[in-house]
Amino acid sequence: MSFTSLSLQSRSHWMLPLALLLVFGLAGCGPKKNGAPAALDSQVETLELRPPGCNSPDACASVMIRREVFADRPALNDAIYAQMLQQLQGNDDASSAPLNALDKVAQKFLDDAAAVTVTSAAQWQLNGDAKQLARYGNLLTIVVNSYLYTGGAHGMPVSRWLNWDLADDQQVTLADVIEPGQEKAFWALAADAHRQWLATQQVDSDFGKNWPFTKSEDFRLTDTGLVLLYGVYTLGPYSMGEVEFTLPREKLTGVVRATYLNTTESSCDGS
């Protein structure tokens, strides 16, 4: 696989001029069945930063951000960029204005790491990754992952699903998918799916009280139904990781708009 390496100008006097923008081709979501939409053309841009004199991310603070960029899809690319900016600054001081560029976020993270006088045994890390996860007809699902570690027992991973209508060239929210007036029925199905998931876990009787069901805006459609995604610490402790469960397709008729049910799933090579 060929790629082009472009140096980025450092904005900090101490930052190693290691920032690289790696651009290379990536296979898109291909059709799984005859008549499915054609694959999307895209590239991946990678931004990697470390302090001067550091040759290994294990030896110092580091930033690694990978973002899939789609040809002729500026609105989609902007939505992905905005989601990455939000996630990578999720734990920032709310009193400070959010930064508007990923390279600024990366620099600030390294500046903050350098300002810490007492360091953890493990080094600070900030990672971001955005790529195709699945495609369901014209509905493309992008997964945006982030990971922040600034010391302590473990870092904080976050995954969000961004759904994009390729025909209308706009984001699709869960509210767009649910039939008007069927929100209560939808969340009743979700609560039932949660109870079924909970029954498969080796937990005590108080677990459900301590970690009750809640709503999620992260979803994607598959041939088997609608999948909801819950982040760490949402439905269980950190050790349980992220949680997914599926609302069966046969129960979604009349609850989810027919236009989103009457299609088929496509595969994403390399996702």
Could you tell me the residue ranges of all domains in the chain? 4-171, 174-266
Please say whether the dihedral angle defined by the alpha carbons of residues 205, 209, 210 and 212, taken in this order, is positive or negative: positive
CB-based burial label for 271 (10 Å; 0-12, 13-18, 19+): middle
pTM: 0.84
Task: Tell me the C-alpha distance between 179 and 189, whole Å.
Answer: 14
pLDDT of residue 92: 56
Q: What is the pLDDT along the chain (271 residues), one digit of tens a residue?
A: 333 323 233 333 233 334 444 444 444 665 444 445 667 999 999 999 998 888 776 778 999 999 999 999 999 999 999 999 999 997 555 557 889 999 999 999 999 998 886 666 568 999 999 999 999 999 999 999 999 999 888 899 999 999 999 999 999 999 999 999 999 999 999 999 999 999 999 899 899 899 999 999 999 999 999 999 999 999 999 999 999 999 999 999 999 999 998 877 776 754 4
Beta partners for residue 164, in sequence order: 140, 171
Nearest-angstrom CA–CA distance, 124 and 112:
10
Q: What is the per-residue pLDDT for 32?
A: 47
Instruction: Return the DSSP state at 156.
Output: E
Architecture of domain 4-171: 2-Layer Sandwich (3.30)
| Bridge partners, 62 (sequence order) | 125
User: Position of tokens 């080796």?
Assistant: 202
pLDDT at 97: 80
Q: Give the pLDDT score at 269.
A: 55
For residue 159, give the nearest of 143, 135, 141, 142 by alpha carbon. 143
Please report the pLDDT score of residue 195 as a whole number.
94
Longest CA span, the chain: 60
Query: Which position has the token pair 């890390």?
Result: 125
Q: d(Cα 12, Cα 61) in Å, to the nearest integer?
A: 15
What confidence score (pLDDT) does residue 119 get?
Answer: 60
Helix (H, G, I), strand (E, B) or coil at 261: helix
For the domain made up of 174-266, give the CATH fold: Actin; Chain A, domain 4 (3.90.640)
Q: Are strands 125-136 and 139-149 parallel, antiparallel or unpaired?
A: antiparallel
Burial of 34 (0-12, 13-18, 19+ CB in 10 A): exposed
